[in-house]
C-alpha cells in the first residue's frame, strides 16, 4: 500500500472519529430507534406481538409489547401515531428499556409521545433508576389523542437505563399506553442575574420539541425544580402545563412560553432568593397562543404578601398584555406562583384543552 493511500485512510479514520465524538456530545434528539421506525424482523413478529427480548432494534422488552402502525385498527379502534408510522403498545406490566450515555450530575429531559388506547385509566411509569415518575395519561389534552410529555432527571452514572413501564393490569391484556417517539435533551439551567432574580424567566431553556409536533410538550404535574424538565420551575399542580414554541403558537417573546391548560389544576411556581423586608417588582406577560382559545382569560399571580389577577380578553388571534405586582419579601426565599382562574377549550376543537400563555417573568428589587 502506497504512502498516499495510507495517509488518505488515516485522514478518513480521523474524520469518522471526530464525527462520532460530535454526535455523542450533541445530546438533543431521538434515542436510538426512538421513533420505532426500524422494525423487528418478520420472524420476530406474531401478527403485532414482538417475540423475543431483544427483537425490537435498540430496545429491550419485557412482557407483552406490540409493534403497531397508526390509523384504524381491528375492532373499531384508532391509534394516533403523530411522529411517524409505527409505535409500540405496552400491555399488562410490560416495559421497554434502553441504555443511554449521559454526563453524571447534568440535567436531562426525556420527551416522548404517549397516549392511552382504551377507556380504562392508564399510567405510564418512566424510570431512570433510582428515579421514577408515574404519568397519568387518562386526561387527553389534544383531540387527536397523541399527547407529548417531558420528564426530567439527573443521572449519577455515565450510562443510565431509560425504562417505560405500563404498571397497570387491565381486563383486556392488549390495553395499555401507546409510545411512538422518544427523544432526550441535555439542559443547561440559567442562573438569576442582577436584572432578573427569576431563573429561566422567558422559558427559553426547556425540553426537546419534535419538529413535526403541533401540540406542544406537556410538563407533568408534581415536578420539583431540581429535576423539572423546565429548568428552574416547579410544576406543583394536579394537571400538566404545556410548553409551547413560536413555530406553532403565538408567544409574547423569544422562541418558547408556557400555556396554563387546566385552569386552577395547572400551576407553575419558582422559589427565588430575596431579602426579608425588602420590596420587589414582579412583571410578566399574559396572552393567548393563537390556538382557538377564545374569551376571558385570567391569570392569578402570588408573590410574598401580594396577589394579582390579570385579565386578558382573547380573540384567539395571538397578542398579550403585561402586568406588574409589587410585593415585600417575608423571608430570604420567596415563592412566586401562577395559575389560570378559568378552564378553556378550543372553540374550533372542543376536545382540546387550552388556556392563557405566560411569559417574560421578571423580578427586580424596588429602589428605596
Closest to 44 (Cα-Cα) out of 73, 62, 67:
67
Rounded distance between C-alpha atoms, residue 277 and residue 212, angstroms: 48
pLDDT tens digits, 255-287: 999 999 988 888 999 999 999 999 999 999 999
Q: Which position has the grid cell 432494534?
A: 57
Res 9 pLDDT > 50: no
pLDDT of residue 324: 97
Centre a 10 Å sphere on the Cβ of residue 136 and count the other Cβ atoms it contains.
15
Per-residue CA distances from 267 to 232, 234, 238, 337 (Å): 14, 8, 8, 7
Neighbouring residues of 121: CB distance < 8 A, sequence distance ≥ 6: 136, 138, 168
pLDDT of residue 11: 38
Distance spanning both ends of the chain, measured CA to CA: 80
Res 60 pLDDT > 90: yes
Residue 145: pLDDT band with limits 50, 70, 90:
low
* Domains, in order of start, for the chain: 26-187 (2.60.120.260), 217-365 (2.60.120.260)
Supply angle C-alpha 142, 147, 149, rounded to 5: 135
Rounded distance between C-alpha atoms, residue 204 and residue 206, angstroms: 6
Closest to 38 (Cα-Cα) out of 84, 97, 90, 71:
84
Neighbouring residues of 130: CB distance < 8 A, sequence distance ≥ 6: none
What average pLDDT does this structure show over 46-62?
96
Res 7 pLDDT > 60: no
Q: Which helix (H) or strand (E) holds 96?
A: strand 95-101
Rounded distance between C-alpha atoms, residue 363 and residue 368, angstroms: 16
Q: Which position has the grid cell 377564545?
A: 294
Residue 135: pLDDT band with limits 50, 70, 90:
confident
Alpha carbon 23 to its chain's center: 23
Query: Mean pLDDT, the chain, as a whole number?
Result: 87
Q: Pick the residue with more confidence: 36 or 23?
A: 36
pLDDT tens digits, 314-359: 998 899 999 999 999 999 999 999 999 999 988 877 778 899 999 9
Residue 6: pLDDT band with limits 50, 70, 90:
very low
By CB atoms closer than 10 A (0-12, 13-18, 19+), residue 15 is exposed
Res 239 pLDDT > 60: yes
Rounded distance between C-alpha atoms, residue 193 and residue 172, angstroms: 54
What average pLDDT does this structure show over 161-174?
82
Res 18 pLDDT > 50: no
Q: By the 8 A CB rule, do 280 and 361 touch?
A: no
Alpha-carbon dihedral angle through residues 311, 313, 318, 323, given to the nearest 10 degrees: -20
What cell was used for 148? 407529548
pLDDT of residue 78: 67
**Residue 223: DSSP 8-state:** B
Alpha helix segments (H runs only) across the chain: 3-25
Amino acid at each position: 500500500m502506497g504512502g498516499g493511500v495510507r495517509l488518505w485512510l488515516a485522514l478518513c479514520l480521523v474524520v469518522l472519529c471526530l464525527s462520532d465524538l460530535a454526535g455523542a456530545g450533541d445530546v438533543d434528539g431521538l434515542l436510538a430507534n426512538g421513533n420505532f421506525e426500524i422494525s423487528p424482523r418478520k420472524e420476530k413478529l406474531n401478527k403485532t406481538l414482538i417475540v423475543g427480548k431483544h427483537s425490537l432494534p435498540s430496545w429491550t422488552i419485557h412482557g407483552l409489547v406490540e409493534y403497531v402502525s397508526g390509523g384504524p385498527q381491528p375492532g373499531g379502534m384508532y391509534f394516533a401515531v403523530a411522529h411517524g408510522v409505527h409505535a409500540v403498545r405496552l400491555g399488562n406490566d410490560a416495559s421497554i428499556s434502553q441504555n443511554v450515555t449521559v454526563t453524571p450530575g447534568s440535567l436531562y429531559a426525556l420527551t416522548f409521545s404517549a397516549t392511552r388506547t382504551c377507556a380504562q385509566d392508564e399510567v405510564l411509569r418512566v424510570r431512570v433508576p433510582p428515579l421514577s415518575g408515574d404519568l397519568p395519561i387518562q386526561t387527553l389534552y389534544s383531540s387527536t389523542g397523541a399527547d407529548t410529555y417531558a420528564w426530567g432527571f439527573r443521572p449519577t452514572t455515565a450510562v443510565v437505563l431509560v425504562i417505560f413501564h405500563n404498571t397497570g393490569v387491565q381486563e383486556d391484556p392488549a390495553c395499555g399506553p401507546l409510545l411512538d417517539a422518544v427523544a432526550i435533551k441535555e439542559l443547561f439551567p440559567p442562573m438569576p442575574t442582577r436584572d432578573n432574580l427569576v431563573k429561566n424567566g422567558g422559558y427559553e431553556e426547556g425540553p426537546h420539541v419534535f419538529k413535526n409536533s403541533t401540540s406542544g410538550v406537556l410538563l407533568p404535574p408534581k415536578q420539583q425544580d431540581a429535576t423539572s424538565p423546565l429548568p428552574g420551575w416547579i410544576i406543583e399542580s394536579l394537571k400538566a402545563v404545556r410548553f409551547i414554541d413560536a413555530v406553532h403558537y403565538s408567544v409574547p417573546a423569544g422562541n418558547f412560553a408556557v400555556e396554563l391548560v387546566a385552569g386552577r389544576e395547572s400551576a407553575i411556581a419558582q422559589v427565588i432568593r430575596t431579602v426579608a423586608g425588602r420590596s420587589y417588582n414582579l412583571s410578566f406577560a399574559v396572552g393567548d397562543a393563537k390556538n382557538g382559545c377564545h374569551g376571558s382569560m385570567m391569570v392569578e399571580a402570588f408573590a410574598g404578601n401580594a396577589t394579582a389577577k390579570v385579565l386578558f380578553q382573547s380573540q384567539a388571534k395571538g397578542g398579550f398584555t403585561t402586568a406588574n405586582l409589587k410585593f415585600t419579601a417575608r423571608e430570604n426565599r420567596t415563592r412566586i406562583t401562577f395559575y389560570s382562574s378559568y378552564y378553556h377549550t378550543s372553540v374550533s376543537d372542543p376536545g382540546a384543552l387550552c388556556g392563557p400563555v405566560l411569559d417574560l417573568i421578571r423580578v427586580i428589587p424596588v429602589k428605596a
